[in-house]
Amino acid sequence: MAAEGAPDPRRPLRRGRRAAAAHGGVGEGGATGPLLRLAHPRDEAGTRTSRPVEPPLLVPSVDQRYLPFDLRVFEAKNLEEVAVAIEDMVVRGAPAIGATAAYGMAQAGLQGVDLKEAGDRLRKTRPTGNDLFYAIEYMRKARAAGDDLVVAADRYAQEDIDRCRKIGEHGAKLIRNGIRILTHCNAGALATVDYGTVMAPLRVAKEQGRRFFVYVDETRPRLQGSRLTAWELLQEGIDHAIITGGAAAAFLGRGEVDLVLVGADRIAANGDTANKIGTYGKAVVAKENRIPFYVAAPTSTIDFDLASGDKIPIEERSPQEVLHLDGHPIAPKESPARNPAFDVTPAKYITGIITEEGIVKPGELRSGAAKAPRKKTSAKKRR
């Protein structure tokens, strides 16, 4: 339900970058990413203070549940609200979840919450994506080194922006004039701090003057493709069309797609990749039809502690997401449903992985071509 005074809910918002910035829905780089910055209080003159030293110490983010029809900002006032925002998909996308967790840890520290307790709570939110655990460890090390937690969270966010921009520069080399690209789910600025992973090569290629076309897989059950990716493409003026998930194989099979480009939530050391449910099937069909299949992800998404993808925990979300659409039932109430949020694509179906270090083959992740710090992860399957 749109907020009072919101645009007509039947028509998606269409804002340029400057207009979106005025609504707080963009990162500092000007793209359509979530805010992901600890809100600072202002002094009597309205000037932002050097750091948040008094309540409310808000962690703001674009509430992605309402896009593309309503642009709202959710402000988490404490650790539990940050955790629930991640669980309820107010914020989503592995890098964006990582940055949100970093600011949540900073907020918790400033509010006197023990950082171990904060990290333990955040670890329980969504088990599949690796950036969440990477961010928690990053902030733990910052505290151990005596760093200012807000400065550390800001640094984490800036590093994510820099990684995504470099992914864009490397990935844009794959995009030639006239190419037709298939995407899945949303791996744009909304899923990161800025630029996106999949969206970054598209943005850079457009900046370089290339023309191309994007097929946007709607991505059931939460429709992140049709709701979010299509919205981001509109902001950039990139030609696209939304297709159903079931239609993707037909488009691949009859030669209407030249490149498949997807994001990742966790990549194992051998290149096996967990991404939004439905990715695996597209990879198999792409290989059958000799269509390149690339994964775009920062090295923070690579989990070198997992030898292969069969060790990646897969989140099972509520069956209600399958049985309802926009709050309305779409199936017999007596029928049960299963709702795994992710699947794992074996490395043999992946042509290459685009990281900030360059484009590598899945088997090259340990060679040094794509580096990431080793870290502890203790993800448990969420019931």
Residue 175 has pLDDT above 90, yes or no: yes
> What's the rounded Cα separation, in Å, for the pair 216 and 232?
11
The pTM is what?
A: 0.85
Numbered ranges of CATH 1.20.120.420 in the chain:
17-164
Residue 381 has pLDDT above 90, yes or no: no
Q: Mind listing the pLDDT tens digit for each residue in 1-41?
A: 333 333 343 445 443 332 233 223 323 333 445 666 666 55
Confidence class of residue 382 from pLDDT cuts 50, 70 and 90? very low
* Active-site option among 265, 272, 303, 343: 265
Q: Is 154 known to be catalytic?
A: no
> What's the rounded Cα separation, in Å, for the pair 104 and 57?
10
At 56 the pLDDT is 54
For domain 173-367, the CATH superfamily is Translation initiation factor eif-2b; domain 2 (3.40.50.10470)
* Residue scoring higher pLDDT (121 or 60): 121
- Strands annotated E in the chain: 59-62, 73-76, 180-184, 213-217, 240-243, 259-262, 266-268, 273-276, 293-296, 302-303, 324-325, 328-329, 342-345, 352-355, 358-360
Q: Give the pLDDT mean for 273-289.
A: 98
Q: Give the pLDDT mean for 111-136.
A: 96
At 57 the pLDDT is 76
Query: Would you say 206 and 160 are in contact if contact means Cβ atoms under 8 Å apart?
Result: no
At 159 the pLDDT is 96
At 326 the pLDDT is 87
Please state, rounded to an integer, the average pLDDT across all residues of the chain.
Answer: 86
Q: Structurally, what CATH architecture does the domain formed by 17-164 represent?
A: Up-down Bundle (1.20)
Per-residue DSSP letter, 366: G
Conformational region of residue 93, where left means phi above 0, alpha means psi within -120 to 50, and beta covers everything else: left
Numbered ranges of CATH 3.40.50.10470 in the chain:
173-367
> What's the rounded Cα separation, in Å, for the pair 114 and 140?
11
Q: Mind listing the pLDDT tens digit for each residue in 313-323?
A: 999 999 999 99
Cα separations (Å) of 245 from 19, 225, 251? Answer: 31, 10, 11
Q: Give the pLDDT mean for 341-366.
A: 95
Query: Would you say 149 and 52 are in contact if contact means Cβ atoms under 8 Å apart?
Result: no
Tell me which residue has tokens 């400065």. Answer: 151
Residue 373 has pLDDT above 80, yes or no: no
Q: How many CB atoms neighbour CB 275 within 10 A? A: 28
Per-residue DSSP letter, 35: -
Please choose, from the candidates 98, 31, 144, 141, the residue with its C-alpha nearest in 3D space to the C-alpha of residue 302.
Answer: 98
Q: Mind listing the pLDDT tens digit for each residue in 200-236?
A: 999 999 999 999 999 999 999 999 999 999 999 999 9
Q: Mind listing the pLDDT tens digit for each residue in 41-96?
A: 544 444 444 444 444 578 989 999 999 999 999 999 999 999 999 999 999 999 99
> What's the rounded Cα separation, in Å, for the pair 328 and 296?
34
CA torsion angle 100 356 186 271 (round to 10): -100
Q: One-letter amino acid identity for 72?
A: R
